[in-house]
A = this chain, B = another copy of it.
Amino acid sequence: MADVVQGRSPRTGDPVGDPLPASTPADLDRAVAAARAAAPAWGALTGPERADVLDAIADALDAARAELVAVADAETALGEARLTGEVGRTSGQLRMFAGLLRDGAHVDAVLSPADPAIGRPDVRRMLHPIGVVAVFSASNFPFAFSVAGGDTASAWAAGCPVVVKAHEAHPATSAAVARVVRTALLGAGVSEDVLGLVAGRAAGGPLVAHPGIAAVGFTGSLAGGRALYDLATRRPDPIPFFGELGSVNPVVVLPGAADERADEIARGYVGSLTLGTGQFCTNPGLLFVPEHAKLLDGITEHARAATGGAMLSERIRDTYAHETAGRADREIARGTAADDAWAVAPVVWHATLAEFTANAAELTGETFGPAGLVVTYTDEDALVDALAAVPGSLTGSVHATEADHPLAARVAATLRPRVGRLVHNGWPTGVAVCWAMHHGGPWPATTAPAHTSVGGTALRRWLVPTAYQDWPDALLPAELRDANPLGVPRVVQP
């Protein structure tokens, strides 16, 4: 069994779906070499040409949706509705990048015309693909953050072939998606090696260390991400590593909002905490609320009524069980676990603001799953001070009324440098795929705070600039020629 990756049903714990052979070092070399061989032609396509291929892949995924959902549901137990939506999100992401490619702004063309008066040459700058990208897919989004997910789609859009390391929790799904994609690539007239797939935990480190890999995208745990980041940065030739790791996603409920909407907030919180059995990187792990009896009662009541489903893997389930047992003394509510083999019960903990501040290092650790800490505050200045202990997170949310705005501004000023996205009167779960989305944040939320794994700017991770100085028009890339035949947006220095 050491040489295959076998999926298992979270509902029964039994093997399910075809296993994927664990990649040998020779397999890895072959996958990277094939991707490198595909790179020049893939990178040489114009934006609109590459957009057509992304659309073809999106269409192929949609066409195969029923089959893909069935395979993924067996391996993940996420359910048909959620998985059907996730295939749509995945094809939607590809189409969003196709739209951006047709616009052409992604090449970030800047022209500084020659100025003989000051001896300045003609300089024209644009972005080019960085090379072959390695993508580590996540357990919790078998489509949207996996083989053809956001990291891969954005790298393709940038003109980079991708070698994906399949996640151990859904090998058959990974193989099925790869088959659909590679067939679609061939059908669109490009090399199928624009996507490569490797499998097996042992392949991860060597993939990051491989001389043929130019950059890495990763979504997963803090420990796993740090280990791979260390490999990327300790190479003889370090490469960029874009990892999305852990996040506690603080949510702050201000007094006016608690008074006005106690039950709505209690219900919304437990709903966000338990959505998808809490297996989202944007799960609200840290909730700050005033000492407000109705709100606290509502939270415990809704949490006790909640049922937790199956977790994605036995290891994730075991870690959750271990971490929740370790904080039993803070537990104020516990829901029930469904009948599935790897199901868990939602849990809510409590600490006062003083307890939180005194134990911030321990209490700000992320527990992956439907468990959250509620911190009660009485003093507004102390609240603002305490928020400085929040570690780098993907999101920070504030529930406020207009009367709360002065305090909301202070809370936001403290949270802003610590989070990638500020949410008003909403919950962090649910990341809209749109041009303006930023799904990132300071360490440990990510390894690269300037970048995002969701949204229109995600493809910037895979692009590097070249400046062309006094370069003959006939030899320039189309995007930089005088005639601008592709009509890309260009900034021209006055």
Contacts and interface: CB of A to CB of B under 8 A. Distances in A.
Contact of A434 (B112, B240, B444, B471): B112
Contact of A112 (B121, B419, B435, B493): B435
A475 interface: yes
Given A423-B470, A432-B123, A471-B424, A465 B440 contact: yes
Contact of A450 (B111, B412, B465, B475): B465
B121 A466 contact: no
Given A438-B466, A456-B493, A408 B475 contact: yes
B110 A435 contact: yes
Given A421-B466, A467-B422, A432 B121 contact: yes
A311 B111 CA distance: 36
Nearest to A232: B233
Contacts of A437: 112, 123, 125, 467
Interface in A116-135: 120-121, 123-125, 128, 130-131
Contact of A466 (B420, B444, B493): B420
A468 B415 CA distance: 12
Interface in A181-235: 229-230, 233-234
A432 B120 contact: yes
Nearest to A432: B120
Contacts of A474: 405
A468 B124 contact: no
A111 B461 CA distance: 20
A420 B465 contact: yes
Contacts of A452: 465
Question: What class of interface size applies to chain A in its complex with B?
Answer: 35 or more
Given A434-B120, A436-B110, A467-B438, A240 B422 contact: no
16 contacts: A110-B436, A112-B435, A120-B432, A125-B437, A128-B417, A230-B234, A233-B233, A237-B392, A405-B472, A420-B465, A422-B466, A424-B471, A424-B475, A439-B467, A450-B463, A457-B465
Nearest to A124: B436
Interface string A433-466: 0111111101110011110100111001101111
B240 A424 contact: no
Interface string A265-279: 000000000000000
A240 B466 contact: no
A468 B408 CA distance: 13
Contacts of A493: 434-436, 456
Contacts of A229: 233, 238
Given A123-B437, A475-B412, A421 B463 contact: no
Contact of A421 (B233, B444, B469): B469
A33 interface: no
Nearest to A422: B468
A125 B436 contact: yes
Given A112-B437, A435-B493, A448 B128 contact: no
A409 interface: yes
A481 interface: no
Contacts of A359: none
A492 to B, nearest CB: 9
A111 B465 contact: no
B128 A435 contact: no
Contacts of A392: 237
Contacts of A409: 475
B435 A491 contact: yes
Contacts of A237: 392, 442-444
A378 interface: no
